[in-house]
């Protein structure tokens, strides 16, 4: 019987084969993946339907169903993003810096693959493709644990990935899933020192915290998104209405959707009715502080819990603040260092916000929905890192590399 350790060992062995593969071979794998996604769309949708039916029969929330759902349009979008990644410059072997020492030694620092990337994630079958494609492009093998909610979808997608590798003569073991082992598979990944080089958790706060606390393998921490938008006293009303609606309503189930709106008290009377009426028309439930309730009655009172909540749904916490300083203090206390945005026409306020907010992505006059690897031109992302070591923000192919020094000499010895 094949165990989780057996599978991870096979991936580790196969990773050396991928590291030696040419850029052309790796690009050919990605082209195969894009083609097979289109060719196998009916089978993918059939497997995805099984996941959704099981979820609906259980207690799966509408927002989770949205994250799991794959239809022809979404599959075409994933296939198109794969082709965009093919066109990106190959990071492997890129020279970062170099010099010649006085003794004649030539130093060159280059990018190299991390090796084997492990990813534990929840309810997002598109992530299966995103992670594998970015990993292969950057010369990394990958171990996946995608969760039971999307297990049928992930199974057929991993089969597709392995077929795409085999078509160009590369080992199928470069990509494996441990879904069949359930939570034990995730536990095995966290203990797989020497088999997995880095572990990336993607999902809710509970999953991420568990991996950070329990893993013996180095972890790149992705964070939940208690995302804020602050409307200051100079904000254009039309921008405020459009940006808030897009940031909350376009896809509320994702981590870059806004969860808390802060409004300067001098803008509140002008902004609150228009912004919140637009949101309520799209069925957003407003969780309002006392000052906001005085301007907009069609809301429920906010509690302390609302300021810490990532709703993943059509809910928004709203608070009126006395100043930019108070907005910055609220974000520092309740934010998760994911994405924060200010709507303003005051250049000084904009620059203060950019400089003082501690988050992976800080924006001026833009929807928080832009914090995304695809939108940033990376083709896709492995996750959005909210830590400060190695990688921060959307992680593309460069963030999946490390470096090594090449030293070329001519008989030098150290004095």
pLDDT of residue 225: 86
Q: Is 4-220+395-408's fold the same as 227-370's?
A: no
pLDDT of residue 151: 93
Q: The pTM is what? A: 0.84
4-220+395-408: CATH topology: Aldehyde Dehydrogenase; Chain A, domain 1 (3.40.605)
* The domain defined by 227-370 carries CATH number 3.40.309.10: yes
Domain spans, the chain: 4-220+395-408, 227-370
The per-residue pLDDT for range 113-172, each reduced to its tens digit, is 999 999 999 878 999 999 999 999 999 999 999 988 999 999 999 999 999 999 999 999
Average pLDDT, the chain: 94
Tokens 């000052």, located at residue = 291
pLDDT of residue 373: 86
Residues of the chain with pLDDT under 50: none
pLDDT of residue 61: 86
């Amino acid at each position: 019987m094949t165990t989780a350790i057996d599978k991870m060992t096979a991936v580790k062995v196969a990773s050396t084969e991928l590291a030696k593969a040419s850029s052309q071979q790796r690009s050919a794998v990605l082209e195969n993946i894009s083609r097979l996604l289109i060719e196998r769309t009916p089978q993918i949708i059939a497997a995805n339907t099984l996941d959704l039916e099981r979820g609906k029969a259980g207690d799966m929330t509408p927002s989770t169903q949205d994250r799991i759902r794959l239809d022809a349009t979404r599959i075409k979008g994933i296939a198109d993003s794969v082709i965009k990644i093919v066109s990106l410059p190959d990071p492997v072997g890129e020279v970062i810096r170099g010099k010649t020492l006085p003794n004649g030694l030539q130093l060159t620092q280059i990018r190299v693959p991390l090796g084997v990337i492990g990813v534990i994630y929840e309810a997002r079958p598109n992530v299966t493709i995103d992670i594998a494609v970015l990993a292969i492009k950057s010369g990394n093998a990958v171990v996946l644990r995608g969760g039971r909610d999307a297990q049928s979808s992930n199974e057929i997608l991993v089969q597709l990935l392995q077929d795409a590798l085999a078509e160009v003569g590369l080992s199928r073991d470069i990509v494996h899933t441990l879904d069949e082992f359930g939570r034990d598979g995730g536990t095995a990944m966290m203990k797989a020192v020497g088999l997995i080089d880095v572990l990336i958790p993607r999902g809710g706060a509970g999953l991420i915290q568990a991996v950070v606390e329990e893993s013996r393998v180095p972890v790149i921490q992705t964070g939940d998104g208690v995302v804020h938008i602050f409307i200051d006293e100079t904000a254009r009303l039309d921008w405020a209405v459009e940006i808030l609606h897009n940031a909350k309503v376009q896809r509320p189930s994702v981590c870059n959707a806004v969860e808390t709106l802060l409004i300067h008290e001098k803008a509140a009377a002008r902004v609150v009715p228009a912004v919140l009426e637009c949101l309520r028309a799209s069925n957003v439930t407003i969780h309002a502080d006392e000052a906001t309730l005085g301007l907009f009655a069609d809301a429920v009172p906010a509690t302390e819990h609302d300021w810490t909540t990532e709703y993943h749904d059509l809910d928004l916490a709203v608070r009126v603040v006395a100043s930019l300083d108070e907005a910055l203090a609220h974000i520092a206390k309740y934010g998760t260092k994911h994405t924060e945005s200010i709507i303003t026409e005051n250049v000084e306020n904009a620059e203060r916000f950019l400089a003082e907010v501690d988050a992976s992505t800080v924006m001026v006059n833009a929807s928080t929905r832009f914090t995304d690897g695809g939108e940033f031109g990376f083709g896709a992302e492995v996750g959005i890192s909210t830590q400060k070591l190695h990688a921060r923000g959307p992680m593309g192919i460069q963030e999946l590399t490390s470096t090594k020094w090449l030293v070329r000499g001519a008989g030098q010895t150290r004095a």
